[in-house]
Amino acid sequence: MTRLWVEFLAFFVGAPLAMAVLLPPSALFPVLFFFTAVGLALLHRTPGFRWSEVWDGAGRIGWGFVGAFTLLTVATAWAVVQATAPEQMGLLLRLNPSLMLAIALLYPLLSALPQEIVFRPLFFRRYGALLPSGTWAPVVLNAAIFSFAHLMYWSWIVAAMTFSGGLAFAWAYHVRRNFPEAVLLHSLAGIVVFAMGLGAFFYSGNIARPF
């Protein structure tokens, strides 16, 4: 149990703090890929875990849930852009549609999938014994930790949006037992964020630490 706590704190507290305080923003993807590789190795060694689990829900995606989540994400992104930087609305789509297309194609594989591996199967399967009981408590804790992992952006907007998204992703995986659905939701959320004009908040090149 002590070893699990050490791993848990290293993954979900230590790494985000290091990224937010110590490491340069350019280290984001190398750190993400490193921890994804370590997470894959730990998952492989987790008693009772089968790799076939990650595809179990591919044939039972809740398309109504996915559609409602996407519409809510679009509405939220629109409201945030209008309130903070209305000139950014759809800017990437208008000025650089090729880049937007590249993001739409690559974000699911290079960003959403690695994050989902670490924050959903690794979190719930390997560290399940450390989590609170019940249905909602582990989901809320997972969303809070997922939001904390984005501390490096030093933005309350990013914190709020990743917490809200984290609730949906965790619900899809932990309650609906559907990892493909969680990856799909995360992918759609990321694409919407960039398409609507919120990409500046999630772009590591724009990070400004408050110290």
- Residue 206 pLDDT exceeds 80: no
- Residue 180 pLDDT exceeds 80: yes
**What are the pLDDT digits (tens) for 90-119?**
999 999 999 999 999 999 999 999 999 999
Task: Give the tokens for residue 65.
Answer: 């849930």
Angle at 141 between CA 135 and CA 144, to 5 degrees: 140
Task: Give the tokens for residue 94.
Answer: 């208008």
Q: How many other C-beta atoms are found inside a 10 Å radius of the C-beta of residue 109?
A: 11
Whether 31 and 23 have beta carbons less than 8 Å apart is answered as: yes
What CA–CA distance (Å, rounded) separates 120 from 53?
A: 12
What CA–CA distance (Å, rounded) separates 128 from 4?
A: 10
What CA–CA distance (Å, rounded) separates 37 from 153?
A: 23
pTM given for the model: 0.94
- Residue 124 pLDDT exceeds 90: yes
Tell me what pLDDT residue 211 has. 81
Whether 172 and 178 have beta carbons less than 8 Å apart is answered as: yes
Task: Tell me the chain's radius of gyration from C-alpha atoms.
Answer: 17
Tell me what pLDDT residue 205 has. 74
Mean pLDDT value of segment 30-35 = 87
What is the residue extent of each domain of the chain?
2-206
Tell me what pLDDT residue 148 has. 98
Distance of CA 6 to the CA centre of its chain: 22
Residue 1 to residues 117, 122, 163: CA-CA distances in angstroms? 22, 15, 27
Whether 89 and 81 have beta carbons less than 8 Å apart is answered as: yes
- Residue 4 pLDDT exceeds 80: yes
Tell me what pLDDT residue 204 has. 76
Q: pLDDT grade, residue 44 (50/70/90)?
A: very high
Whether 39 and 54 have beta carbons less than 8 Å apart is answered as: no
**What are the pLDDT digits (tens) for 47-104?**
999 999 888 888 999 999 999 999 999 999 999 999 999 999 999 999 999 999 999 9
Tell me what pLDDT residue 77 has. 96
The overall average pLDDT reported for the chain is: 94
Q: pLDDT grade, residue 40 (50/70/90)?
A: very high
